[in-house]
C-alpha cells in the first residue's frame, strides 16, 4: 500500500521492558503522531478528508486530534497528533481509498512524554496554546539517552523556565523510529526570527548558556528543526 502506517507519539509506556524506565523519570500520557506528505495538487482534497475524519472522531466526545501544517521546508507535510488510547473508529473503505490517493507517504512513530522535562505543568489540559509549533529533533549517541534526559531535566529545562520561554514539552521516540531520538515541542504565537537573540543567553548569560548548549551538543549525533502552523479547522479538543 502507498499509505504506510507511521506516527510520532508522545508516550507509549507499554513498549518499554521492565526496569527500562528509571525510577526518577516522570512519564506522561501517550500520543500518536502521523506524518503525511501530500500530493501538492490535491491539498484541498486532503484537507477536506481530514476535516471529515475530525468531525467523525469529535462526535465521540473523547480524546483530541491536533493537525499541524509545515511552513518551512517541504510545505506539503502535515503532522496529525492523537492520544495513544484515544477513540478508535474504523474509517470507511471509501475514505481510506480516497486518502491513499492524495497522500504520497505516511510515517507513524510513538514517543514517550517526560513531564518532568516540561517547562509547564499541563494537568489534563493538552490543548495547543499557540498558533505555531517549533519542533526540535535531536538524535543522541546510543549510550547517552539517560545522560541526555538528565541534562534536559536538570539543566536545559530550568534554564528555559528562567528565560520564560513558555510551553516546551520533551518527548522521545520509543516505537516506529530511532529510539535515540528526542523531540522538544515549543508552542508559540509567531514564527521565530532567524538570528534573533536567544532568550536563554539573556536569562543566564552568554558563558553559562554556551556551556549548557555544548554539553547537549556533545551527546548529539544529528539535529533538525521544523516550524508547523496549527490547523484548528482540522483539529478538536474535548471539554
Residue 138: give the domain boundaries: 25-237
Asked whether residue 12 carries a pLDDT value surpassing 60, the answer given is: no
Cell of 89: 473508529
81-137 confidence digits (pLDDT tens): 999 887 778 889 999 999 999 999 999 999 989 999 999 988 777 889 999 999 999
For the segment 223-239, the average pLDDT, to the nearest whole number, is 94
User: Residue 127: which CATH number?
Assistant: 3.30.70.100
The more confident residue out of 215 and 3 is 215
Instruction: Please give the pLDDT value at position 25.
Output: 65
Answer yes or no: is 3 within a domain: no
Answer yes or no: is 8 within a domain: no
Answer yes or no: is 6 within a domain: no
Q: Which of 159, 132, 176, 156 is nearest to 220 (CA)?
A: 156
User: In whole angstroms, how far apart are CA 145 and each of 29, 173, 216?
Assistant: 20, 11, 11
Instruction: Please give the pLDDT value at position 3.
Output: 36
User: How many domains is the chain built from?
Assistant: 1
Mean pLDDT of the chain: 86
Instruction: Please give the pLDDT value at position 158.
Output: 96
Give the pLDDT band (50/70/90) at residue 9: very low
Answer yes or no: is 5 within a domain: no
Buried b (16+ CB within 10 A) or exposed e, 20-53: eeeeebebbbbbbbbbbebeeebeeebbebbeeb
26-51 confidence digits (pLDDT tens): 676 778 999 999 999 999 999 999 99
Share of the chain above pLDDT 70, in %: 89
Instruction: Please give the pLDDT value at position 11.
Output: 28
Answer yes or no: is 58 within a domain: yes
CB 230 within 8 Å of CB 128? yes
Share of the chain above pLDDT 90, in %: 72
Answer yes or no: is 127 within a domain: yes
Answer yes or no: is 4 within a domain: no
49-72 confidence digits (pLDDT tens): 999 999 999 998 888 999 999 997
For the segment 152-169, the average pLDDT, to the nearest whole number, is 96
Answer yes or no: is 13 within a domain: no
Asked whether residue 141 carries a pLDDT value surpassing 60, the answer given is: yes
Amino acid at each position: 500500500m502507498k499509505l504506510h502506517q507511521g506516527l510520532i507519539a508522545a508516550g507509549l509506556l507499554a513498549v518499554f521492558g521492565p526496569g527500562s524506565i528509571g525510577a526518577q523519570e516522570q512519564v506522561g500520557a501517550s500520543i500518536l503522531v502521523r506524518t503525511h506528505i501530500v500530493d501538492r495538487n490535491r491539498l484541498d482534497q486532503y484537507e477536506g478528508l481530514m476535516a471529515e475524519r475530525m468531525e467523525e472522531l469529535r462526535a465521540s466526545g473523547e480524546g483530541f486530534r491536533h493537525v499541524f501544517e509545515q511552513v518551512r521546508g517541504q510545505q506539503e507535510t502535515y503532522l496529525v497528533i492523537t492520544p495513544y488510547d484515544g477513540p478508535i473508529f474504523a474509517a470507511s473503505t471509501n475514505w481510506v481509498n480516497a486518502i491513499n490517493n492524495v497522500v504520497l507517504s505516511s510515517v507513524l512513530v510513538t514517543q514517550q512524554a517526560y513531564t518532568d522535562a516540561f517547562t509547564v505543568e499541563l494537568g489534563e489540559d493538552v490543548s495547543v496554546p499557540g498558533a505555531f509549533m517549533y519542533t526540535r529533533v535531536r538524535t543522541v549517541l546510543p549510550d547517552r539517552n539517560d545522560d541526555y534526559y538528565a541534562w534536559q531535566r536538570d539543566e536545559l529545562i530550568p534554564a528555559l523556565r528562567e528565560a520564560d520561554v513558555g510551553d516546551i514539552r520533551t518527548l522521545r521516540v520509543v516505537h516506529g523510529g530511532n529510539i535515540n531520538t528526542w523531540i522538544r515541542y515549543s508552542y508559540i504565537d509567531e514564527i521565530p526570527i532567524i538570528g534573533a537573540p536567544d532568550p536563554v543567553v539573556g536569562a543566564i548569560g552568554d558563558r553559562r548558556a554556551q556551556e549548557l548548549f555544548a554539553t547537549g551538543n556533545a551527546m548529539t549525533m544529528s539535529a533538525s528543526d521544523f516550524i508547523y502552523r496549527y490547523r484548528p479547522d482540522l483539529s478538536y479538543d474535548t471539554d
